[in-house]
């Protein structure tokens, strides 16, 4: 995007664009104003309803966190709702390594959010929040139906039938469970949404922020395809959350298989969308097999998420072991 594109969009002036970062739900542009100010111009992608929802949630989330003294989040400078734009002060830095220091920061941030909830602060539920196994089963069923409707083919129908069969078997063998332990959750937790700026760590991307169950927060962290923390750090995260949130980590056994099916569907939907944008007229087995959604199903089928004494294996660790002796 050139500076000319923003000529009538920013009240601050005409920025010179020097960098473009493409994300899963938005594009971020590094812009420079004549007065020396450096901006992060975030433009959301998708239909108007989706863009409005994400922009509004990000705006309200950051305002909420800053109002309670949490400063290691972006500073909002300007908002353009009609254009799907939100502008921040640029945070110079880079994505941190998935190491012990990053894990310390991540845990501290989760505890800060937990304390906000403990003080009685209120905020809307996160996008796709889950407080029972029935709720996530419903979300999975809806995603299966959407996949069938949007990418209808014999191969997709067979895939969806196989996922639906896994869902039914799990539901039949497990009682419905309510998740009472709640917290404020980023819902997209990991180093991919962190910036290390001169040893100060910032958290970014809050379009899915809100109230959620601790079970889903931890489960999503374990299953996120960009979570590259080693086993020791994953175990430390689970143990520390369990201690500080007074939460029993064995409850993951009840939700992790279901979340795995949901992540598989998210991955398949993204792959199929990308293939469709390339001009693929129909989804075939080759498109299905190339998606990491297939690996999520392997993770589910081989019980890769559980080792000795509930030693949960992250999806990234499991994925990296496929094909290894």
Q: Is the pLDDT of residue 311 over 80?
A: no
pLDDT of amino acid 13? 81
Mean pLDDT score of the chain? 90
- Number of domains comprising the chain: 2
Instruction: Quickly tell me which residue has 């040893």 as its tokens.
Output: 199
Give percent above pLDDT 90 in the chain: 70
Q: Which residue has the higher pLDDT, 250 or 184?
A: 184
Give percent above pLDDT 70 in the chain: 92
pLDDT of amino acid 22? 87
At 285, is the pLDDT very low, low, confident or very high (cuts 50, 70, 90)? very high
Q: Is the pLDDT of residue 5 over 80?
A: no
pLDDT of amino acid 45? 87
Distance (Å) of CA 35 to CA 16, 32, 242 = 12, 8, 48
H helical segments located in the chain: 48-67, 100-118, 133-150, 154-173, 214-223, 231-244, 252-277, 285-290, 292-301, 315-321
- 164 & 121 share domain: yes
Does 155 map to a domain?
A: yes
* pLDDT tens profile 141-160: 999 999 999 998 999 999 99
Report which listed range, 37-46, 102-111, 279-288, is most confident.
102-111
pLDDT of amino acid 6? 55
pTM, two decimals, is 0.90
- 108 & 75 share domain: no
Q: Is the pLDDT of residue 4 over 70?
A: no
- 59 & 138 share domain: no
Of the listed ranges 40-54, 135-149, 200-214, the least confidently predicted one is: 40-54
At 320, is the pLDDT very low, low, confident or very high (cuts 50, 70, 90)? low
Does 17 map to a domain?
A: yes
Q: Which residue has the higher pLDDT, 237 or 171?
A: 237
- 65 & 205 share domain: no
Q: Is the pLDDT of residue 2 over 60?
A: no
Could you tell me the residue range of the domain that residue 30 belongs to? 3-89
Q: Provide the CATH number for the domain around residue 135.
A: 3.90.1200.10
Question: Of the residues 89, 113, 139, which one is the last residue of a structural domain?
Answer: 89
Q: Is the pLDDT of residue 245 over 90?
A: yes
- 38 & 127 share domain: no
Secondary structure (3-state) at 41 = strand
What angle do helix axes 292-301 and 252-277 make, rounded to 10 degrees?
Answer: 160
- 57 & 109 share domain: no
At 24, is the pLDDT very low, low, confident or very high (cuts 50, 70, 90)? confident
Does 94 map to a domain?
A: no
Q: Provide the CATH number for the domain around residue 41.
A: 3.30.200.20
Question: Of the residues 40, 63, 89, which one is the last residue of a structural domain?
Answer: 89
Does 175 map to a domain?
A: yes
Does 95 map to a domain?
A: no
At 95, is the pLDDT very low, low, confident or very high (cuts 50, 70, 90)? very high
- 170 & 221 share domain: yes
Distance (Å) of CA 40 to CA 20, 28, 86, 104 = 10, 6, 8, 26
- 84 & 181 share domain: no
- 246 & 209 share domain: yes
pLDDT of amino acid 250? 84
- 54 & 203 share domain: no
């Amino acid at each position: 995007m050139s500076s000319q594109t923003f000529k009538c969009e920013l009240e601050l002036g005409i920025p010179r664009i020097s960098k473009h970062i493409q994300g899963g739900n938005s594009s971020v542009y590094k812009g420079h104003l004549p007065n020396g100010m450096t901006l992060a111009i975030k433009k959301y992608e998708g239909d108007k309803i989706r863009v409005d929802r994400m922009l509004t949630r990000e705006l309200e989330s950051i305002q909420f966190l800053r109002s309670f003294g949490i400063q290691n989040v972006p500073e909002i400078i300007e908002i353009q709702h009609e254009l799907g734009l939100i502008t921040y002060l640029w945070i110079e830095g880079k994505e941190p390594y998935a190491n012990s220091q990053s894990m310390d920061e991540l845990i501290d941030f989760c505890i800060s959010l937990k304390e906000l909830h403990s003080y009685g602060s209120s905020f809307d539920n996160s996008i796709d929040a889950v407080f029972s196994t029935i709720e996530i089963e419903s979300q999975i069923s809806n995603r299966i139906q959407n996949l069938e409707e949007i990418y209808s083919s014999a191969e997709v129908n067979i895939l969806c039938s196989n996922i639906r069969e896994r869902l039914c078997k799990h539901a039949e063998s497990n009682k419905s469970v309510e998740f009472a332990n709640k917290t404020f959750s980023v819902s997209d937790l990991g180093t991919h949404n962190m910036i290390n700026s001169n040893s100060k760590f910032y958290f970014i991307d809050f379009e899915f922020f809100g109230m959620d169950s601790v079970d889903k927060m931890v489960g999503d962290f374990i299953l996120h395809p960009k979570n590259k923390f080693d086993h020791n750090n994953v175990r430390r995260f689970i143990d520390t959350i369990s201690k500080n949130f007074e939460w029993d980590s064995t409850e993951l056994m009840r939700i992790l298989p279901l979340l795995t099916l949901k992540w598989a569907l998210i991955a398949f939907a993204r792959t199929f969308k990308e293939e469709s944008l390339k001009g693929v007229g129909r989804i075939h087995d080759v498109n299905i097999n190339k998606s990491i959604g297939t690996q999520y199903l392997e993770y589910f089928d081989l019980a890769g998420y559980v080792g000795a004494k509930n030693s949960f294996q992250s999806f990234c660790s499991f994925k990296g072991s496929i094909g290894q002796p």
